[in-house]
Amino acid sequence: MVISFMDTKESGKKSIKDTIKRKIKEKIKQELLDEICEELALEEDELTEEISSILTQKSSNKPIIKLTKIPTAEIVEKKEFDIQDEEKINKEIYISVKTILKIASHALKYANSKIPREKWVEVIGLLAGKIEKDNGLLQIEDAYPMGHGTAVYAEIKDYKNYARAYQDIKKQKLFICGWYHSHPSYGCFLSAEDMGTQARYQKLWDKSVALVIDPYQIDGKSTGFEIYTANLRTKTWYPLVYGIKGSLDIKMLPEILKFMNPIIEGKALYLEYDED
């Protein structure tokens, strides 16, 4: 068998190419490993806390939530008061009954007993309001459901819908005064992710508010939501004292939502007998 000079040359080129490719792959692999190790070292504390949280939640059969809770600003502790004294407390904001029911029903639409708990997701929407001329207080008059997402992030997926909502809000002679989202079964607070969203709203209007609802805290004693604002300089948030505009007995709220369940689930509220 005769091997030509050209065959030897081609074989040599192939061998060099293979060697170069192997070295490039090894270098890229090493760089990626170094980068991953560096990130893990920087986030070691966060990972430890997150893993601990996941193990705790798995043991209690709760959905795995990866929100990073950030601190509230220091506020003066409110004293306990009787329901008769509630009207004596100065309010910083008012919210309509219609808004409360729309937000609560939106939250329950994607996190109710008909849906497996591990598939519950958050919802997000806009708050529309006006400033009362008499006292200068913000009145939240309506809510505009905009979207839903994973257990961690709800987002407005199509900003054409944002523009449509904006036009509808203008027609009502209201303005976008903030946003709302849900924390189904894990309490009311602003996470680090939420803080980023709130910062964007407050840069548009410095008195913008964030409403967070946990529909599973609606128990006849609580409305299940809090309304917050944030200090962007210190990156902290604090709750506002709100009043309800209109007649709503908090004790009846769970029953009202229970009655609305068929609508929330996309069914008829009731059927006539010949519609079965």
> Is the pTM higher than 0.85?
no
Q: Which residues pair with 95 in a beta bridge?
A: 140, 244
CA–CA dist 178, 164 (Å, integer): 16
Mean pLDDT over 88-107 rounds to 88
Q: What single-letter amino acid sits at 227?
A: I
pLDDT given at position 110: 93
Give the H/E segment covering residue 169.
Answer: helix 159-171
Token digits for 53? 């949280």
Show me where the domains of the chain are located: 83-264
What digits encode the pLDDT tens for the residues 181-235?
Answer: 999 998 999 988 888 899 999 999 999 999 999 999 999 999 999 999 999 888 8
CA angle 238, 242, 244 (to 5 degrees): 155
**Residue 186 in contact with residue 65, Cβ under 8 Å?**
yes
pLDDT given at position 79: 36
What mean pLDDT value characterizes the chain? 77
Token digits for 162? 């944002």
What digits encode the pLDDT tens for the residues 48-73?
Answer: 444 344 334 443 444 434 444 555 54
pLDDT given at position 62: 43
pLDDT given at position 205: 94
Strand-by-strand arrangement of the 175-182 sheet: 236-239, 225-231, 209-213, 175-182, 123-131, 138-148, 93-96, 242-245
Per-residue pLDDT for 117 more than 50? yes
Going by pLDDT thresholds of 50, 70 and 90, the confidence category of residue 268 is confident
Per-residue pLDDT for 7 more than 70? no
Q: How is domain 83-264 classified at the CATH fold level?
A: Cytidine Deaminase; domain 2 (3.40.140)
Question: CB pairs under 8 A, 24+ apart, for 166-169?
Answer: 168/144, 169/126, 169/128, 169/142, 169/144
CA distances from 114 to 57, 111, 135, 251, 266 (A): 21, 8, 44, 24, 12
Per-residue pLDDT for 276 more than 80? no
